[in-house]
Structure 1
Amino acid sequence: MATSTPSTTPASTLSGTAQALVAPGKGILAADESLPTMVKRLARIGVESTEDTRRSYRELLFTTPGLADTVSGVILFDETMRQRSSTGAFLPEILAGAGILPGIKVDAGTVPLAGAPGELVTQGLDGLRERFAEYAALGARFAKWRAVLRVGPLLPSSACVEANAHALARYAALAQDAGLVPIVEPEVLMDGSHGTERCAEVTRQVLRQVYAELARQHVDLASTLLKPSMVLPGTTSPEAEQVSDDEVAARTIAVLRDTVPASVPGVVFLSGGQSPQQATARLDALNRLGVHQPWQLSFSFGRALQAPVLDAWRGEPENVAPAQAVLAERARLTGAARRGCYERTEEPAVPEPLGPGAGG
């Protein structure tokens, strides 16, 4: 597992914040679902998405006892950044009071990339400097911007890779100017029939371009985090049912060693369309194999942490405590994987994977 000497850098500095987010044994809860995504998530458990139900669910997550033991930061959505809890406290204040750093998703989603059929580029740079100033005043300490890259025989195109890398770098420079740590998320999507080797090839291409653009924009890498997808076969590939956790870890670390500078404090993997058990087991394999790597190997999981909680809650007030117990246990297991000491035998029955395009 990845180890490091505890940092003496004050958490009030950008590099100190970045190191605090990937402190040994800890990682990030991605709770930055947009309003349309929340409609889908809540509909799955038979709950209507209203401001009150969304607030109740977020409050459930953020007030879970002991969450700060394994969660260093939470990525929020714009609405959540401004919401008050049932007690009248702002939700970011509840997190900060528990010793958890509030962060904010700032991209505005994807749109078709002109001249590149089937490919996407992330928008949201217009007015971002002003939005960053507002979010910093609301208590945000870090930010996230997600780019998505589709894999195919001829995808992604160089134009798509370059456009998304440039946007990520512009965002990161603006975040640091505003005093926020940027999480850079170039997600290579699992959707498709590509094999593991093709995923590794595309991930290597994307990360090389991202770090070239970050250098051009004079981004301080010591005050950034990388949020990549693991190197995985496509969901409809014959390899999808055969690839081992150790192979995923080995291929992922090989790509990172080729592309990610040692000055980056940590890599916080997204869970993508993996089940909670798959994402946790592969994070564990990464930390077992990656003990001598220069970066902390951590997590920024969304649905891999939240899906079991939603199933336990189902919008019922009497289910809040049981749902929080589920989150605490899921976070404990993920924290164990973060240290390379996760035991899959502790898991309940394994459900089906969450499916392609699940995010987080």
Structure 2
Amino acid sequence: MGKEDLRKIALELVRDGKGILAIDESSDSMGKKFENFNISNTAENRRRFRNVLIEAEGIEEYISGVILHMETFDQRNDKNILFVESLSSRGIIPGIKLDQGLGKIEYDDVKIKATKKAKEVEENVPENVKSSVKNAGDKVVGFMKQHSEYAKNKIEEHERPLTEEEKVKEAKKYGEFIKRSSADNAEETYHEQVTRGLEDLEKTLASKKYEKAKFAKWRSVFKITKRTPTFEAIDKNCDILAQYAKLCQLHDLVPIVEPEVLFEGNFTIEEHYRVLKYVLSLLSNKLNYHDVDLDSVLFKIGFVTSGKNKASVDKESTTRLTSEAILSTIPIKVPGIVFLSGGHTCEDAIDYLRMICGLDAEINLTFSYGRALTSNAMKKWNGNDNNVEDARKVFLQDCQVSSKASKQRNLVRKG
């Protein structure tokens, strides 16, 4: 499959008025949802609920692709047809979740590395620049010492060599954000997470079991607290996302990269905006560094809001800041962005989508919802096959509403 073929798939996934259904929950995640309805968490019950959704008549009018858990590739509908084949027969593109969940980041050698890098950088900085940095203030000096590895990489990866004055400017620009990163902040940073599965990804991609998948998704998470996310967590996760994306393209899959900033927390909308913007900037740099073809990669992000435990803000601010974060960081070659509901109510997720898709845009925008599309259907189904048709009716209504909200009024068509 050539580059143009991958780009066509990417554009098809973000076709105006259609979105992606995410039903890629692990068995454990599915079990937590089943608990609310006293449904046993068995492979058969998971298959039964997937059958309710996937076999709903008419979903192809609203759904362009479906992200599936690996388990689903072996499962069949009630007519003994593989779910992936059933989807493909209706023009719905099957995709696969490839990450293997989250694990803790190891920070044992962070202090040693930071000290060594700080010394290396300081030895190569001219005296006049040292003076400029010193005069810039303690925050910048602290940033240079604690995060010299970032500063060095930022300089090396820049499109052209920076002047000495620009080096100082870069330090000032990112110092306020990065200053929270420190190996001393062990109480919070110890619990930061990195996505697992990269070591086995080549083997998974080569497996015939998943050969019918045409796109993939990989999720990393970032939690906003007083001291997190640290640069270490952002850097590690973005690098893994980029490596995953490159491997997907080498195996003829369109990669969706999902750097999710968690909704849980007590942070302001401005803090969320700064973190998301920084994460997207670094991820874009990592994608370029690993030679990922940006013509056939999709971003999956959340809406910029205040934290769940913070007073909510007006939806106009969410729309504006989400749009600004996208426009200032994501390369123009990227064919589209899909939004996750991310813990918001179904109503809020739909409203945010409708408002941002109503803006002038030069990039395709749509939804990639899981809970927002399936929670009402699960409640209606309740593990009872007698409720299947009613559950499908509710599911189709939610798909239709999301589809309508995702139609872009002022899109300059790309591709």
Normalising by the residue count of structure 2, what TM-score does the alignment of the two structures yield? 0.77
Contact in 1 for aligned 2:55/2:77 (Cα 8 Å): no
What is the aligned partner in structure 2 of residue 344 from structure 1?
A: none
Relative to structure 1, is the Cα distance of residues 198 and 267 closer, same or farther in structure 2, using a 3 angstrom cutoff?
A: same
What is the aligned partner in structure 2 of residue 329 from structure 1?
A: 397
**Counterpart check, 1:143 vs 2:135:** no
**Counterpart check, 1:273 vs 2:343:** yes
Could you tell me how far apart the structure 2 residues matched to 1:226 and 1:218 are? 16
What is the aligned partner in structure 2 of residue 16 from structure 1?
A: 8
Contact in 1 for aligned 2:16/2:408 (Cα 8 Å): no
- Report the CA distance between 1:137 and its aligned residue: 4.9
What is the aligned partner in structure 2 of residue 4 from structure 1?
A: none
For residue 259 of structure 1, give the secondary structure of its aligned residue in structure 2.
coil
Relative to structure 1, is the Cα distance of residues 135 and 72 closer, same or farther in structure 2, using a 3 angstrom cutoff?
A: farther
Could you tell me how far apart the structure 2 residues matched to 1:294 and 1:73 are? 22
What is the aligned partner in structure 2 of residue 258 from structure 1?
A: 328
- Report the CA distance between 1:244 and its aligned residue: 2.1
2:314 to 230, 244, 249: 244
1:29 to 15, 21, 24: 21
Could you tell me how far apart the structure 2 residues matched to 1:125 and 1:135 are? 18
- Report the CA distance between 1:118 and its aligned residue: 2.2
What is the aligned partner in structure 1 of residue 382 from structure 2?
A: 314
- Report the CA distance between 1:245 and its aligned residue: 2.1
Relative to structure 1, is the Cα distance of residues 316 and 11 closer, same or farther in structure 2, using a 3 angstrom cutoff?
A: farther
Could you tell me how far apart the structure 1 residues matched to 2:340 and 2:288 are? 24
- Report the CA distance between 1:328 and its aligned residue: 0.6
Could you tell me how far apart the structure 2 residues matched to 1:276 and 1:206 are? 26
**Counterpart check, 1:114 vs 2:106:** yes
- Report the CA distance between 1:162 and its aligned residue: 0.2
Could you tell me how far apart the structure 1 residues matched to 2:27 and 2:392 are? 22
Structure with higher Rg: it is 2
Could you tell me how far apart the structure 2 residues matched to 1:270 and 1:68 are? 20
For residue 127 of structure 1, give the secondary structure of its aligned residue in structure 2.
helix
The superposition leaves residues 121-176 of structure 1 with CA deviations (integer Å, 9 ceiling, x where unpaired) of 00101121121122675300000000000101221111110000000000000000
Could you tell me how far apart the structure 2 residues matched to 1:302 and 1:315 are? 18
- Report the CA distance between 1:108 and its aligned residue: 0.6
The superposition leaves residues 70-92 of structure 1 with CA deviations (integer Å, 9 ceiling, x where unpaired) of 10000000101111222111111
* Pairing of 1:1-360 with structure 2 (within 5 A): 13-115=5-107, 116-134=189-207, 137-238=210-311, 240=312, 243-289=313-359, 291=360, 293-339=361-407
Letter in 2 for 1:282: Y
The superposition leaves residues 300-346 of structure 1 with CA deviations (integer Å, 9 ceiling, x where unpaired) of 001000101101100111110010000110000000100158xxxxx
Relative to structure 1, is the Cα distance of residues 25 and 111 closer, same or farther in structure 2, using a 3 angstrom cutoff?
A: same
Contact in 2 for aligned 1:11/1:17 (Cα 8 Å): no
Relative to structure 1, is the Cα distance of residues 132 and 205 closer, same or farther in structure 2, using a 3 angstrom cutoff?
A: same
The superposition leaves residues 286-312 of structure 1 with CA deviations (integer Å, 9 ceiling, x where unpaired) of 0112x3x22111110010001011011
For residue 67 of structure 2, give the secondary structure of its aligned residue in structure 1.
strand
- Report the CA distance between 1:222 and its aligned residue: 0.9
- The runs of at least 4 consecutive aligned structure 1 residues that moved more than 3 Å come to 135-138
Could you tell me how far apart the structure 2 residues matched to 1:73 and 1:62 are? 11
Contact in 2 for aligned 1:104/1:135 (Cα 8 Å): no
Contact in 2 for aligned 1:150/1:189 (Cα 8 Å): yes
The superposition leaves residues 181-221 of structure 1 with CA deviations (integer Å, 9 ceiling, x where unpaired) of 00000000111100000000000010011011000110001
Could you tell me how far apart the structure 2 residues matched to 1:125 and 1:340 are? 35
Query: Gaps spanning 5+ residues in structure 1: where?
Result: 1-9, 342-360
Equivalences, count: 327
- Report the CA distance between 1:247 and its aligned residue: 1.6
